[in-house]
Structure 1
Amino acid sequence: MNPSNLGKQNGALVLEVLQVLGHPATIEEISQRVANIYKVARERIQPVVGDVLTAGVQEGFFRCTNYRYSIVQTTIDQLRQEIDKYVYEMLSTEEDEVLPQPSPLMIKLEQLDGSPPVTPQSVLSPSPSSGELRERTPPGDASSAVATY
């Protein structure tokens, strides 16, 4: 596992860890939780978590007070609504229709890991054998973390 790429779900994973903790936490505590998930040393993960937290504060997902990070609940509530709407639109889209675009807030979350934003065309690809659309999911379990808030 490359600790600089946590399944390209860095933002969602850190968000999930803070949600599960349920209280403001230090970078060390958050990094330790992530390290436990990926079974690697905290020292290897902490720089990545630090980058995510810094970007998350700048984008309004997290706040930092006295070196403790917490979730900005209003932003997360809005994100939850936008994800629900996006999923509904994706499921309602007919085969010949244009797929819905992620909201600006969803794109900001995806960009917390420094990777290019995921667009519907790169998330879904036709199956060569059946013509059905299949969702590509990154390794790890963080891909569904945000949708469950």
Structure 2
Amino acid sequence: MRIITIMITIGVLGLPMATTAHAEAGTSVASPDDCDGNGVMGRFRAVGSGASFDYRGRRVELQNESIFDRYSRAEIKSGRQSGDRVWVDRSHRRFPADRKGIIGRTEAEARGWKQCGPFTWRTQSVFNNYYAARACARIGGTSKCGKWYLD
């Protein structure tokens, strides 16, 4: 079964600013072009506080690059099985520089978002400087996302 959620964010002038079709993994509406950094090298660390999560025997991580601190990605770190998919969502609009940490779902999604993926075990990277990101996975036919995180 294919589920699609469409979100439209209206800007100050009343014009559509961002329209995001968020499809369940397996029917990708995204491509590596929807990611910001294909093949970003660096040292990535897992984000805690609910941004990374355990689901159906898998560890799904939102990871932030820690040297330059400009990119995030998602990875099924353990328990991966054939058919699993992972993607990372990133907000379209920036947050103020003084905001950090977990961001509420309503607040993050009100800014619109794009989807990088799905991929089989690790996504390409998205630019995270003042943008919220979250890791999502489709496992055993069910999708789950972690909390939105602002680095």
TM-score by length of 1: 0.24
Q: Which has the higher strand share?
A: 2
Q: Which has the higher helix share?
A: 1
